[in-house]
Structure 1
Amino acid sequence: MFFPFRTLSTARCRIDPLRAEDAEELWAITDESVTAKVHFLPDPFTLSDARALIAGCSKHDCFLAVRDRRLGHLLGVIGAHRQAGRRIEIGYWFAATARGRGLATESLRAATGLIAQRFPTCRLVAECHPENGPSRALLERIGFASSGAAGKRPGRQLFSQAVSAMRIDVC
């Protein structure tokens, strides 16, 4: 697994790689509101699908659990996927009960900040449907901007993390 840490903590969240014992909670939070938007998730998403996703983490793909820092409940998932051309694609989904509370912003800001720090020559990217207002706003809050280019997936737009003055991308 390429992801650069074992555990990251924020004010309200703990972020660490998904583990086999997370399968039931992953299955529970991955409902139709998620599978309708995340292209690679089957609908319905089954417990077997949850186990396969967790087992599929590799040196190029990592799925991170976003947990409630106090209680340890699974709130969401952040995917980090190494791509050709020194790019790392970020994706995410959160339980319906975790939405609208700033948890995605908090956890994604922390995770993408650490990824950018650990992989300074990589560009962080994400794809989003232009009409998905909440996801687009989230990406903008954590420092991503639309590139204006179409994403690889139909109907999606490519977003890229803005390069800060403290970071230099080497081509």
Structure 2
Amino acid sequence: MTRYCAFFESLTVRGDRLSMADLRYAFEREELENAETVISSGNVLFDYEERPSEGLEDLLAYLMRDRFDLKAFVAVRTREEIRAAVEENPFAGESGDSFVHTMLLEKQPTQAQFDRLVADHGTLGEERLALGARCLFVDYARPPAESLLTGEFIAKRLGCRGTVRNVRSLARILTKM
């Protein structure tokens, strides 16, 4: 069995938060073992037979539609993939880790897509960007809520969706795994 973490983008049901107990139960019914939420809603650790994380993303997206009538984006990563996202973030420790984030992406953008993001971002703000393996590293240099660099802006230029966690949260998840 391999330990994974599912990072859900947004879990709301008609304006109410989805119960993490309900989510854990749905995981167990799909034979995703030892499901547990970690840090905050939207992060679920679980064990499953080893397979590419992209296939698990499809399975969990289906589960969310089938069980909860939700279209939720989910990024699934192994312990090693999370470790790489933490260790390879070039901005970690520079601006206060609450401002340094990793966007876990549904696929690997091309260099041309990343270059377009950087060019279109231009003078919108002070943020710094770097491309990783199926992730985008962002140093917001201030509270992210004050930034004009939104998930929608990023997704449009990279041609894929993602979900964001700060580096402290990723490090704590990695420790929990």
TM-score above 0.5, yes or no: no
TM-score normalized by the length of structure 2: 0.25
Higher helix share: 2
TM-score normalized by the length of structure 1: 0.26
Q: Which has the higher contact order (CA 8 A, sep 6+)?
A: 2
